[in-house]
Structure 1
Amino acid sequence: MLVYSTRFSLAWSILGNVRTNLFHVLRRLSVEDHDIDNIGLLLTEYLTNLLRHANGEGASVCIEMFRSGGKITLSIKDQTSFNDSLDNKYNECDEESSSSDAPHPLKEGGMGLDLILGLFPSSRYFYSDGVNQFELEVSISNERKPHIVIVDDSESSILLLTTYLNEGYDVTSYKDPSKALRALVRNPPDIAIIDMMMPEMAGDELIDLLRTHEKLSQTKIIVNTGEPNSAAAQRANGLGIHALVQKPVTKAQLNQLVEMLLSNNLRDGQSTQSTSTAETFKMGNINCFPRGAVNTKQSGDMLFHFPTSTGDLLILCDVMGHGASASVYRDRLFGLFNGMIVSGVTGAANIVKRFADAMYPGNFTADSVVSLLCIQVTDQKLTWVSAGHPAPIVLSPNQVTFNQDRVQPLTGLMEYYEYTENVIVLDDTTRVLLVSDGVYENIDKQLLTATNIKSHLEGCSSCTNSLNSDKVHRKDADLVNCLWSNSLSLLSQASDDASVVLLS
């Protein structure tokens, strides 16, 4: 039975969204975390191979999942050039297994093909019906039932709903909305059933708080109320709930609704195309390659580009937290920066100083902190100011310069501070790398971003080749794509937003 299907045009900017959607779907299907992590690694390797080696840019890709008994079959179909190297790996594995009982070794592959085969030895790669197809199979865990949380101050309502749902579901109940909120964020359920009229906190207020947490973005919300036409119920409806039922709901009504929402959960994210920045855009003579969280609106990493009369202005912000909970500040920040530019404020230091004035004493973003990197681009010159944000990293064939000693204080912490500007001049051999602090810290949280990046650049032959080559679009794209794809964390791990931007 088909349980999930999505189709998209392949691009670097969309890979993060594909991974995130896949994570939520696999969790709903009760696939074990280690299998989810391995599928995430495989998917990243497979799709990046299509982009790098199979003329995959813009190609149509279809991902489908089928459930049969206790098994899930994942199928990836694409219309790129057939990967003979991957096909040969499978043929080699077949020959080895027919002549020896030894398992196929996981070796360093030029395109990560051994990784793909090593993670799922029983997977298949073949050409059929005019498209390339890749298939693998994983088991469904028998342990996990769909998790439903009931939030209601009435003991009798909780007892009734729990009785209705006690077969086939893992049901938890809370009479205190504040305790429920903490529990929901800690362990997001599949469905939350929320009463409207509660003395400690109204249901619509609780729903509003839930919607600020990215971890709860896939939780379906059912409002259970005795007054469906009340103002509170109407407000809740405007907050993006999934269903509203009137008390007393019957067992048949509730179970039918729950089954429908759980079925819809598997099909969420069918359209993987997201509102994103371009793969590349130009600022005068400089190409900008944004990758990672800055390519989606649902993140705390934000990249703003403003063409001005004195050159292009590039602002990279990192809001404390990540995902949807941090992205709520995007429109506010864009409006603030745009207002400065329209009113004639120029220069990186002046922009940051005005922003600091707006932030002090910390009331602009209420409960959040914003680190900021502002760059004025004029011809080949980058004039920059960092306020608590990782500094621009200068990449040249024989040297990497991190500039971290030039980072200045976060905005909003002090009333008066004079921010000073720094200058980088791009020549024929240098490139500039901008990163958010989630890059590589997702992989090793004990090491600083700079240490992780330096380690990767020293050990990666692909990046070394790009840095030693002439600055052409393809080599720059290879460099930034490699840096970004190698910074990805395991799917099951909670991680900070991570972004990489290359200027060349």
Structure 2
Amino acid sequence: MTLKFMDEQLPASFNNVRELRLKLANVLSSTQLPEEIQQNFQLAFSEIATNVVKYGCPAAKHIQVVFFQDNNRWALQVYDDGNPFSDFAIKVKNSQQALNDNELREGGMGLGIVVSRFPCFQYIAGSSSQPLNCFEITKLYSTQDKPSIAIIDDDATTLAILKHYLKSKYDITTYQNPSKAVTDITRHPVSLVISDMEMPGLNGLEVRQRFAASPSTNHMPFIFLTGHAETEFSASNLGIDDFLIKPTKKEKLIAAIERSLNRTKHIKATLGDKLDHDVTNTLRVQVPQKIGKFELALKMQAASAGGGDFIYKSADQHTIILGDVMGHGEQAKFFAHAFAGFFHGLFHACTQVYTDPGEILTSLSKAAESNDVMQATIVTCIALRIINEQTVSIASAAHPAPLFLSGGHIEEIECSGPLPGLMPEVIYHSTQLVFHPGQQLILYTDGLFESADTAEGRKQLENVVKNAFLENRTQPVTKSIENVYQIFQTHASKPLPDDTSILMIGLAEN
């Protein structure tokens, strides 16, 4: 059976590509697909749709996005009514395996990232019978992945009954041999263990002690089952999550399991918050308030503990990099910390050789091609270098376009390049800006404009924030950024759905 999650069509434009990506992100979040797969679908859509808008000749008038599930197959289709990439379609049809990066770049199309993430990929050019061009990517994945529970009991009947109780809600493995259970589970930990107390060979207490002695299983939730209530005391000092007397009812058993799993999640989150606080305080960078005649101000707010935004400052303080790790919550938090350390080491060495932001991002991308941390997630970043008392240079790796305030106008500065580390031989180019007194440059992460629940709400938020920048343009950047952020907070969703960072740099009035 086919289950369609999204079928949306909008006029072909860069703004609507962004709008469709946000709608796709919301749809993906409801699928229970792992975050990595969700991110890859978003990334692939952005790359495909951007190519359609940028390189179609004649250009497409409309883009249609279809996302559906067919059994364990998840498919994303991007349709357009522009001129087809005919040569590309022939190459895909004739030899999928022969496609290399150079071929995927024909016509300026950098689609290597799509194929690298989705080997099941096809492009069908429009025809008289089907006038629309279609990019399709698919991923095999079952959302039936459940918490894994191991049940250890020497009685086969008990194992069969408990498995019958739980198999629809959990992934169940049963063991009559406790020694084998200890060996297997120590090698491959599970979400939770349910164990009988009284068994030949190793009894339940000894099983728990073995798990407690192993770093891979010492925090694994554990529930005891026993036919004798008096044995509860002997287990009380072993970190047991729950203790049930046989025979136990299905509802009571499931309640104990859910209680134990939720308690473990809470403990992990609490430990993560503490680690985040300690690590973030160590890695948080403060930008100087003044460099030459330029004034600077930074505002960073995490949506959840830690978050995915980070910032780097070079030793001479003239180079600043603002970055955003895709994702929210715990995963983005820890990746952001990993990236902060990675960037600090890389850029400390890199800025001894390069000062141009484009060269710095090029070096980053080359280093990231073989870096496990950067290959495991998606990051955008923008680099800024103060060259002299009036000039700055900027380069971007798939980061939101910076805003330039001049007089009563605000405009986006085009300086975008691809995501770092995903395609070989990428060269980033810098854009120079010459400031006059009173002009300001704003670098930000996408939470600034996307922290609203609906498409209309995000458009309103963007308009409100841009107007706030304009209204405060005569203020020093330290005052302006506070005023703008207060206005942002009054209009953004609560709690804040995404990390938000703003870096302002301005040339003071004489």
Normalised by the length of structure 2, the TM-score is 0.48
Higher relative contact order (Cα pairs below 8 Å, separated by 6+ residues): 1
TM-score relative to the length of structure 1: 0.48
